[in-house]
Structure 1
Amino acid sequence: MLKQLGLVSLLATAIFPVYASQHIVVVPSCLLTTTIDYKTLATQQNFSLITTSDKGIDQLVEAKQVMRKKECGGFMDVTQAWNSYQTKSIAKNKAKSFLADHLLATQLSSTKEATYDIKYSTQVNQLIATINPQDMWSDLTTLTKFPDRYSRGDNGVKAAEWFKSQVETLAKNNGRNDVTVYFVQTGGYKQPSVVAKIGNGNDPAAVIGGHMDTLSSSWELKPGADDDGSGSVTVLEAARVLLNSGMHFKKPIYLVWYAAEEMGLVGSQYVVKDFQAKKIPVDAVMQLDMTAYEYHNEPTIWLMDDYVNKDVSKFVETLISTYVKVPVKHSRCGYACSDHASWTQGGFKSSMPFETEMNRDNPDIHTSNDTMDKLSLQHMHDFAKMAVAFAVEVAEPVV
């Protein structure tokens, strides 16, 4: 570990923006080791704000694989937010103020109050009956044939193009002229995120997403079947069911495939920034990151209790009990473990259902062994039911 910044360099950091080869990162302090090249800018609670290089990001990625079962396995690259951040007082240290505001924003979003009810059981049951597990398996087979879906490489771009093409074809085949599919660029990363909007309305939307990227296949293939091929395919099946149904909704539905999640939730932060810039209102967000691995064949769907909104999570629990009819239990990440944290940080109400308890998740993720033979199609099917129910109940079908 490098020494902390001196006063002169800290002031310089507070004045001048950080460029592409440098990163500002919020990280659990326990993740920082002597093998990571970084400089500490500020510390609060159990988190540190650091500056590091591209190499340091790769080192953090390696470290989080080792530490992820200890509530210490993730980080958030906040470079974009740092560059646009303005302190409320010039007397305040930018780093300390930034970290304090970052942590406060998460807390405020988590406690926002909202009310959700089960209203459209006829429509939900009609749609979930049309979910096709074999289509999901076929899509996942296609997705895992990429050597990787790395956000800095051409395969990551090809994966994004594949998802975009899939939704565009669905819209065309169903004669839907109310579907818009577009890329959101991801700063210094090649891979863009893919956003599909169903409906022309401007009411507060339902958002369902998963990340499509994997780590690099430089040393070994990275099929990413579970992480997060499973979640990405679950989102795609929700899109297929919604578009094939011919159903229209009072509120728009956004389906999102995020880029560069593995590199610090980068793609989702750019998507959230895009929503904010366009003043797109959002009612509720669901993140699907790993939906197909069962620990000892346990069908339970787990809800993460941190970096989420309590009322949205409560609603998702009701959806599972009502429509999926499998056990629901609660766990926690202990850090910003997936893209829902970007929405929470941005002031939106999010949720994070997960395949297992956090410390019993798939041991093969981020390796060449993250393959389909380890997965449960039934578990992924259950998550698809939940996702479709979420979309229908939040977006409200026109009846």
Structure 2
Amino acid sequence: MNLRRAAWVSSTLATCLVGAAHAGPKVWVSVGEDAYRLLRRAGADIEQVELHTLPVQAPAAEGSSKLVRRDESVYLMRVDSDALPRLSQDVHQRLNRCAGYVMHASRAQGRQELSGFRAALLRQETAGKVNYEIDNQAEVNALLPQLQESNVRSTIVQLSTDYKNRYYATHYGVNASDDLVKTWKALAAGRADVTVKQFSHNWPQKSVIMTIKGTTSPKQIVVIGGHLDSTIGNTQEESIAPGADDDASGIASLTEVARVLLSSGYQPRRTIQFMAYAAEEIGLFGSAAIAADYKAKGKKVIGALQLDMTNYQGGTSDYTMITDYTNAAQNTFVKNLAAYYTPSMVVNQGACGYACSDHASWTRNGYVASFPFESLLSQDNPYIHTPQDTIDKSGNNANHAIKFSRLALAFAVELGSDGPALLTK
């Protein structure tokens, strides 16, 4: 990631990242314990460090069904922005996960956001706003056979080969967003209840949102998202960053769900939104902006599902439910969906650390989010963030990604077909 390429002010992070040729500016970031150690080991120029703690639930051991509650150390600091591309690579290579940091406009904003994040996590421990009964079997079972692996595969190939990269600051990243709008609008042709729009940011790439308006409870929103951008360690305009798994696969999995829902004429009671987030790889920027905007406007997102990497099956598990910075009640619902609609699938549990993907943006803003991942974190795709993140690393098929389409479709219909009568007091 080249953070000297652009200058912007994000509506939620509002950080200027313009630097000189030899050194970047100091920026405020928050990182988890492991990422903090990597920054120190790399000799990053760090100052004004302060410790915060966030309550999370994590498996007692990777893959374990037993969860333990712990306080995770999170460090707020000023750091040279040029250290962040190296941090992103080290987090992937040494910690087997992505991202790992969130930017803040100032120390005061960082403190405020971390305090709000802690409060949101504590509230979620006792949250129970939605009845997660599986009660739309006829609708789901009628739609599941319409999902096609070939369509998912085709989308992965298109996104990973039509552009040299999909980085948030390159013209390829901009084109990927513009082209996805056209693709989704074509799927929605003839549906007056469906809109496809871009969500503009103060950086070049835009996020994309498809909305299927609910018939009776349109103000209640079900979100299914993944990130559109791709990166290698120090992404330039002409860098080769195909991002077939990270995250063309997630966009492909959710696009196939949208295709089936639209082509079948399905009309949800609640509003369903499909989102392709911009700029995830530089600190969850796109999803953070959207989630903060929804919170500011009082939008009622009853559940968000994150699809970030769905097509590399690194081990025997089919889904790994990420338990930290997600909602326990909705996680149980997603696991129940997997057991009911895909009973042969093996479900494990894992933790991915602070700010590892876009689900954290929804959780940070007080919403309920879940993140089913493609493998145990120790067995994740070793090729992501390199020019070798191509579909051949997944056998030139989308057999794993289609499983996530099935899970996401069940999630969309089971929540989307319900209405306010199912909200608990």
Same fold by TM-score greater than 0.5: yes
Give 2:245's aligned amino acid: D
Does 2:351 align with 1:332?
yes
Check the 8 A contact 1:110/1:349 in 2, yes or no.
no
Corresponding residue number in structure 2 for 1:221: 240
Shift of 1:44: 2.2
Shift of 1:83: 8.6
Shift of 1:333: 1.0
Give 2:259's aligned amino acid: R
Number of matched residues? 366
Check the 8 A contact 1:206/1:391 in 2, yes or no.
yes
Distance 2:87 2:119 in 1: 24
Distance 1:359 1:121 in 2: 34
SS where residue 262 of structure 1 aligns? helix
Corresponding residue number in structure 2 for 1:192: 206
Shift of 1:41: 3.9
Corresponding residue number in structure 1 for 2:117: 102
| Root mean square deviation, CA, Å | 2.2
Corresponding residue number in structure 1 for 2:76: 49
Q: Which whole-Å deviations, capped at 9, do the CAs of 1:184-243 have from their partners, x for residues lacking one?
A: 2233x3111111111155332110000011115548511101011101111111111111
Please, which of 286, 307, 311 is the counterpart of residue 288 of structure 1?
Answer: 307
SS where residue 204 of structure 2 aligns? strand
Corresponding residue number in structure 1 for 2:29: 25
Please, which of 87, 93, 114 is the counterpart of residue 60 of structure 1?
Answer: 87
Change over 3 Å in CA distance of 1:322–1:100 after alignment to 2 = same
Shift of 1:111: 4.3
Distance 1:271 1:259 in 2: 10
Distance 2:221 2:186 in 1: 23
Change over 3 Å in CA distance of 1:66–1:107 after alignment to 2 = farther
More helix by share: 1
Corresponding residue number in structure 2 for 1:318: 336
Does 2:126 align with 1:76?
no
Corresponding residue number in structure 1 for 2:412: 391
Distance 2:289 2:112 in 1: 22
Q: Which whole-Å deviations, capped at 9, do the CAs of 1:119-138 have from their partners, x for residues lacking one?
A: 11111011111011111111
Distance 1:112 1:374 in 2: 40
Corresponding residue number in structure 1 for 2:6: none
Give 1:384's aligned amino acid: S
Corresponding residue number in structure 2 for 1:8: none
Structure 2: stretches of 5+ with no match in the other structure: 1-13, 19-25, 54-72, 420-425
Corresponding residue number in structure 2 for 1:154: 171
Please, which of 182, 197, 204 is the counterpart of residue 220 of structure 2?
Answer: 204
Structure 1: stretches of 5+ with no match in the other structure: 1-16, 86-94
Distance 2:334 2:418 in 1: 18
Check the 8 A contact 1:35/1:59 in 2, yes or no.
no
Distance 2:212 2:112 in 1: 39
SS where residue 51 of structure 2 aligns? strand
Corresponding residue number in structure 2 for 1:348: 367
| Percent sequence identity over aligned pairs | 32
Change over 3 Å in CA distance of 1:206–1:214 after alignment to 2 = same
Distance 2:171 2:388 in 1: 22
Change over 3 Å in CA distance of 1:179–1:43 after alignment to 2 = same
Check the 8 A contact 1:285/1:340 in 2, yes or no.
yes
Q: Which whole-Å deviations, capped at 9, do the CAs of 1:135-191 have from their partners, x for residues lacking one?
A: 11111111011111001111111111121111111111xx1011122222233x311
Check the 8 A contact 1:248/1:397 in 2, yes or no.
no
Corresponding residue number in structure 2 for 1:139: 155
Q: Which whole-Å deviations, capped at 9, do the CAs of 1:41-62 have from their partners, x for residues lacking one?
A: 4212421112235423323223
Change over 3 Å in CA distance of 1:20–1:83 after alignment to 2 = farther
Distance 1:18 1:236 in 2: 31
Distance 1:191 1:205 in 2: 24
SS where residue 209 of structure 1 aligns? strand
Deviates more, 1:51-60 or 1:193-202: 51-60
Q: TM-score, normalised by structure 1?
A: 0.85
